[in-house]
Amino acid sequence: MSDIPMPSTETSRRRLNLHVLGPILALVALIVLGACLNSNFLSYGNVTNVLARSAFIGIIAVGMTFVITAGGIDLSVGSMAAFVAGVMIMAMNALIPVLGIGVPLILAGMCVALLAGLAAGLLNGFLISKIGIEAFIVTLGSMGIYRSLTTWLADGGTLSLDYGARSFYRPVYYDGLLGISWPILVFALVAVLGEMAMRHTPFGRYCAALGANEQVARYSAVKVDRIRMGTYVLLGALVGLATIMYVPRLGSASGSTGVLWELEAIAAVIIGGTVLKGGSGRVWGTVTGVLILSLIDNILNLASIVSPYLNGAIQGVIVVLAVVLQRERKSAE
């Protein structure tokens, strides 16, 4: 019987390093390409605009990292964001006669958004972990439900925040600290906390264990249903937080709000190196994936290479390629 050559430890280490460094190298390459194609690419205005716009997806993608690491998926986050934004705007408009236009009104709206996001995430988590319905089916159904509810609440049009309240709320998106807007700062804080939770807390380790092998996790005394539900509740809360940052940008919500956000969030997670089938996740990789997608979008717009209407198609191709590369890496190991 002939000997079968086994990959050496050094070869495996090189493959692992390439897998880890790949997203970073791709990000650096995009920055260089963008700088070569357009002289304004690295300007302060363009950089802060890219980061601020990517903050919404980035906050959601951090939560999606935990869901996918635990072996789940959520296709409803874009529709959920639209629904949360609509509920938030309606609640703020209704509370103006009681609270007036000021800080109490803004805080009340923020609380409504967080509670709505938590409730939506809890509902998804309950149906998946307690009732036992497949995550794909639950979140596909809730995607349609939230989108339809938003359209119904807006009566087919747009839900708009009161003009005075909108003017008072605008600084939450456009202002910041030391020249850095609040969405960017919140995204950075969420990313740091998310990476710490993934790497240094039992919750993060249990998510990886659940995604790797659910039966082994159960035998290891991991409360599987609680952990799985926790990932969806966390994602729902982060959708609420992202909505809080998003609403002051336009001051409105409609049935088209958040379209393709789920694709962008999932793409960022996969590009960052989190395994689609679960068991391994990296929040810092997800942040890199978010920046890669944002830079690709920005470069295409600045250079007018393709129509902006094709950005969704390009993101879809990137998701497919990322999954193919993950499979090839596993086959080579």
pLDDT of 18 over the 60 cut: no
* Range list of β-strands (E), the chain: 158-160, 176-177, 180-181, 252-254
Query: How far is the C-alpha of 192 from the C-alpha of 204, rounded, in Å?
Result: 13
277 burial type by CB count under 10 A (0-12 exposed, 13-18 middle, 19+ buried): middle
Query: From start to end of 31-177, where are the E strands?
Result: 158-160, 176-177
pLDDT digits (tens, 9 = 90+) for 84-105: 999 999 999 999 999 999 999 9
The yes-or-no verdict on residue 11 having pLDDT over 60 is no
d(C-alpha 284, C-alpha 286), whole Å: 5
Distances (CA, A) of 149 to 44, 79, 145: 39, 9, 6
Listed ranges 38-52, 60-74, 285-299, 319-333; the one with the highest mean pLDDT: 60-74
- The whole-number pLDDT of residue 313 equals 79
Q: State the average pLDDT for the chain.
A: 87
244/114 Cα distance (integer angstroms): 8
Furthest CA-CA distance within the chain? 85
User: What six digits make up the tokens of 255?
Assistant: 């049935």
* Count of C-beta atoms within a 10 Å radius of residue 333: 11
Give the pair of three-digit tokens for residue 185: 């700062």
Mean local confidence (pLDDT), 263-278: 88
* Model confidence at 114: pLDDT above 70: yes
Please, what is the angle between helix 182-200 and helix 224-250, to 10°? 170
Answer for the pair 233, 125: CB distance below 8 angstroms, yes or no. yes
